[in-house]
Amino acid sequence: MGDILSLVAKRLGFGLLTLFVVSILIFFAVELLPGDLAEAVLGQSATEETVAAMRDQLGLDRPAIVRYLDWLAGAVTGDFGTSLVTGDRVSEKIGPRFGNTLFLAAYAAIIAVPLAIILGVIVALLRNSIFDRVANVATLTSISSPEFFLGYILILYLAVKAGWFPAIASLKSDMSLVDMMERTFLPALTMVLVVIAHMMRMTRAAIINLLASPYIEMANLKGTPAWKVIVHHALPNAWAPIINVVALNLAYLITGVVLVEVVFVYPGIGQALVDAVSKRDFPVVQACCLIFAATFILLNLLADVGSILTNPRLRHPK
């Protein structure tokens, strides 16, 4: 067991280090602005006094390192400073939106993960049949389409023509869970379509990869039925790659949400990021980027840790 623990600890340490480096990257990218933050925000028409006042307010007279440490200390405790445009606390603006985004991602994941794994196993069982080919073409098409294409198709057919679901996923705070699920069904479905395609392909590849190994051939030669070979012999060894696939796709869900949120005007963090980028509201941009990057790194970390923990060779060392 000591072996596994040290591997996991090493991976965790590396993840933390990556997060630290990324936070440096995000903070100092803004330092690359031509001129400085105050000039960039106020524009060319600003007078010397207003620029100086702005600098003073933002504390730009302090060295960048000090400001970075300040920002990092704030970010760790959930405080990202104040918005340059509205003057509100960034955390107050982003907090509920982050919750909304998580809700949407979780909604999509709950539908997509079991469905994708079952379909992936079925397609692996039927490999090289006509169904496999059709599934291959369908999943490739779904992966290659931009999210907004899928989203607008769903809006056109399910919301405008059929009128089954609302086209715009606006949320109110006093909505019941069922209401929220109906409101957010189309954005969730868009993400489900993309993610299922990815996961199915990866699950299929992982299982087919295993089916080439000698012990599977042995099981086949014994005359074990095909489904039993998959469920009893292949699946236990396939958990590691499948967990990897799931975590990677969840990471994709969290970040691929930006375009979907814009299509459906969903009040999530992705939309906040896009708004802030066009208004050049840097504290909000930095906060959103840090949150997205942290989630992405965390889920990648989970993918690695998961595959270490489920690896039979590491769990039962000789």
Footprint of other proteins (CB under 8 A): 18, 21-22, 25-26, 29-30, 32-33, 127, 129-131, 134, 136-137, 140-141, 143-149, 152-153, 155-156, 160-161, 167, 208, 211-212, 251, 255-256, 258-259, 262, 273-274, 276-278, 280, 282, 285-286, 288-289, 292-293, 296-297, 300
Assess contact for 227 and 145: CB atoms under 8 A: no
What is the CB neighbour count within 10 angstroms for residue 265?
Answer: 13
Residue 274 burial (C-beta neighbours within 10 Å; 0-12, 13-18, 19+): middle
Among residues 82 and 286, whose Cβ is nearest to other proteins?
A: 286
CB 244 to other proteins: min, Å: 16
- Smallest distance from the beta carbon of 279 to other proteins, in angstroms? 9
Shortest distance (Å) from residue 49 CB to other proteins: 25
Phi, psi of 130 (to 5 degrees): -65, -30
Q: Tell me how far, at minimum, the Cβ of 69 lies from other proteins, in Å.
A: 20
- Give, as one character, the DSSP assignment of residue 166: -
Cβ closest to other proteins, residue 114 vs residue 255: 255
CB 234 within 8 A of CB 210: yes
Nearer to other proteins, 5 or 153 (CB): 153
Indicate the residue among 103 and 264 with the shorter CB distance to other proteins.
264
How far is it, in rounded angstroms, from Cα 257 to Cα 274? Answer: 12
Q: State in angstroms the smallest separation of the CB of 140 from other proteins.
A: 5
Q: Which two tokens stand for residue 224?
A: 């074990």
The helix or strand, by DSSP H or E, that contains position 67, with its residue range, turns out to be: helix 64-76
At residue 80's C-alpha, the angle toward residues 77 and 82, to 5°, is 140
Q: Which is nearer to other proteins, 86 or 315 (CB)?
A: 86
